[in-house]
Amino acid sequence: MKLENLPKTKEMKSQKRVGRGPGSGMGKTSTHGQKGQKSRSGASISAWFQGGQSPLYRRLPKRGFNNKQFETKYACINLSDLNKFFNDGDVVTPEILKERGIVKKQLSGIKVLASGTLEKKLTVKANRFSTKAIAAIETAGGKTEVI
């Protein structure tokens, strides 16, 4: 096998030069065909466009039940936040968190997550705790209470 007989790969192929006159074979319409939306500059049609007819997702009826509006969402707080905003021996409740502006909305309750470290002895009252957060609070000498 010789160097000149190697099969051409994508990297080796030269780029197609369009719009360089009639002699190039790719002049005038520059490989865009004749007229129409796709021949115009800047034209791009989205993959789901169906030529102006009513799209399939609007032709089919709505089906099924969605429980999203009734889901329970928790305002999450990390151990690093508790460590930053509270002193040793404090009691942390959802009302205090909202008062101090640490949590904007309580939503369905407060969930304590284990991101960061806690070096203070705190009594934390919340609706939910992650297992790692419970372990971290108790190793720091604090208590967890589920509301």
In this predicted structure, the answer to whether residue 58 has a pLDDT above a threshold of 90 is yes
Residues near 102 by beta carbon (within 8 Å), at least 6 away in sequence: 77, 81, 85
Residue with tokens 């705190």: 122
Q: Mean pLDDT score of the chain, rounded to an integer?
A: 88
For 131-141, how does the pLDDT look when each residue is reduced to its tens digit (9 = 90+)? 999 999 889 88
- What pTM does this model have? 0.53
- Cα separations (Å) of 87 from 14, 69, 123? 68, 38, 11
Instruction: Determine the average pLDDT of the residues in 4-12.
Output: 82
Residue 132 pLDDT: 92
Which numeric CATH code is attached to 70-146? Answer: 3.100.10.10
Report domain extents, the chain. 70-146
Residue 131 pLDDT: 92
Question: What is the phi/psi pair of residue 76, to 5°?
Answer: -95, 145
Residue 55 pLDDT: 92
Q: How far apart are CA 144 and CA 126, in angstroms?
A: 8
For 64-117, how does the pLDDT look when each residue is reduced to its tens digit (9 = 90+)? 888 888 888 898 999 988 888 888 888 888 888 888 888 888 788 899 998 888
Instruction: Determine the average pLDDT of the residues in 19-27.
Output: 90
Residue 6 pLDDT: 84
